[in-house]
Chain A
Amino acid sequence: MVGTALFFLFAGFAIMCAISMVYHKNPLYSAISLVGVFISLSCIYITLAAPFIAAVQILIYAGAIMVLVVFVIMLLNLDDDSGPNRLKYLYTLGGGLGVVLLAQTFFIFYAVMRASNVPSDQTLSAGKTLTIGQAMYTEYLLPVEIVGILLLMAIIGSVMLARRLAQPQLEIVVERESELRNDEQ
């Protein structure tokens, strides 16, 4: 009873935040709305007895990734010149993807309705830190390792890209400066 009420409260908040994220013109408002989505999702995880996933959701998505996104938005200080005419084809693309997503949702509804309603013993302990850790480092060790290597590659790649981009730009600036000075003389 209380659980259902809380679910509808947080789910409604999540959907409201998601809609406001899509419809806001200002990127900072969109980012704040996305943080709202993450926080209400994590509240839903807590009501589903998965506190570890809830804490990690807040710690990583709301606390780390979105902070970086907001940081970038604040640094760039974007104006409202998104150029809607140029991106017209995206409407059709988005509409098509939306239809696919909706079909998937209905399929999952259908599958869940048809499945036999057996309460399993695993549901209570599934969200515990110990269970997640054991599953990650025994049964799903290979996927975890693959994801780890992928992330490491991404880190090294981003560092390489940032370095390679920074040096030529600096040279261009220096060249321009010296040209300007030669012109003045």
Chain B
Amino acid sequence: MEAVLKTAFPFMVITAGVLIGFQMVLMIVAYTVLAERKVLGWMQGRVGPNRVGPWGVLQPFADLLKFIFKEDITPDKSTKFVYFLAPLVALTCALLPIVVYPFGPEITSVDWSFLPMGLGEGVKALPLTIARIDVGVLFVLGITSVGVYGIMLAGWSSNSKYSLMGGLRSSAQMISYELAMGASVIGVVLLAGTLDLGGIIRAQQQSTFRWFIIPQFIGFVVFLIAAFAETNRTPFDLPEAETELVAGFHTEYSALKFALFFMAEYVNMFTVSMMCTVLFLGGWYVPGLSHVFEVGSIPYAVVSHFAFIGKICAFLFLYIWVRGTLPRFRFDQLMNFGWKFLLPVALANVIVTIIVVFFLNR
């Protein structure tokens, strides 16, 4: 019994981490939807949703209930299997990167020897990530690039011209902007010397400027623009341009399947904001906090964690702000901008960074 418990304990810890982490991200995502409607309402001189609960705080749950109880319609001529597969692919690929989120610094001050049966023996630190992967940056980029299949397959299998147009536009757009996004990340990786998300945060603490946004400002701007395009948000929301394509790739989807796409879009926004925070704004790192609290203690971890979430929320607000402000690009403008402006700028940034890093390390 004891031996079984000892082997199962790491899996139990990881399962608990997955439950807590996913729950937290999904709650923030649910309230991002409400915040978007509220903020857009204020920007347009409206009130926004205010019927369900005080100030409409229960609106996300009401929306979810509505999605669950609506009739699930499958188009007659659709390719059934792919039609079911597409939203699952979209949401799975959106949720998987949560596994490598660096939620906060390691907690090293707690003595784990109070756990029964010697389970805490030899445990020195509690990392606030679910899985520490050596190649976190590549993992996030790779999984989000697989997420395109959800949109493409949805567009193809619905057997509707609007959906197909939306799917094609979306895949072309995501292929184009993925390159610029990857090239803008290379600068940060060169400065940090690692592909591990936690390692990048630690490298920023030890660097001269504390945050990589200062030496990598061009990379930051390119990444931010590419991130808007990758998540299909205004001003790059051509895949679901409602005035031309009804609703783009999810025109034929209803009820819970539509909700899955909707959730995937907002979780992707969260992931991209997390990447922006980790790569350019120091992740959970607050300059000067180590003078207030001891490094590795619980208050230090808690304050750092809330700083991390706060930075992400600032980016989410930026998304909403831009949506309320900017009109949509035309498709040829989008392609020209991606290939002829954003990609060369990102590559030039990489070359300059390589030269600077080479001379600094000599």
Contact = CB atoms under 8 A, between A and B. Distances in A.
A128 B138 CA distance: 13
Report the interface size class on chain B: 20 to 34
B20 interface: no
Nearest to B11: A2
Given A64-B175, A71-B152, A74-B152, A28 B135 contact: no
Contacts of B135: 51-52, 54-55, 129
A55 B138 contact: yes
A74 B134 contact: no
Q: Which of B142, B143, B149 has the most CB of A within 10 A?
A: B142
B141 A59 contact: yes
B172 interface: yes
A75 interface: yes
A12 interface: no
Contacts of B133: 51
Nearest to A1: B7
A41 interface: no
Interface in A91-138: 128-129
Determine chain B's interface SS by DSSP, over half rule.
Answer: helix
B167 A67 contact: no
Nearest to A35: B149
B156 A55 contact: no
Interface of B: 82, 85, 133-135, 138-139, 141-143, 145-146, 148-149, 152-153, 155-156, 164, 167-168, 171-172, 174-175, 178, 194-195
23 contacts: A28-B82, A29-B82, A32-B85, A35-B149, A51-B135, A52-B138, A58-B145, A58-B146, A62-B142, A62-B145, A63-B141, A63-B142, A63-B178, A64-B175, A64-B178, A67-B148, A67-B171, A70-B152, A70-B171, A71-B152, A71-B172, A128-B134, A129-B194
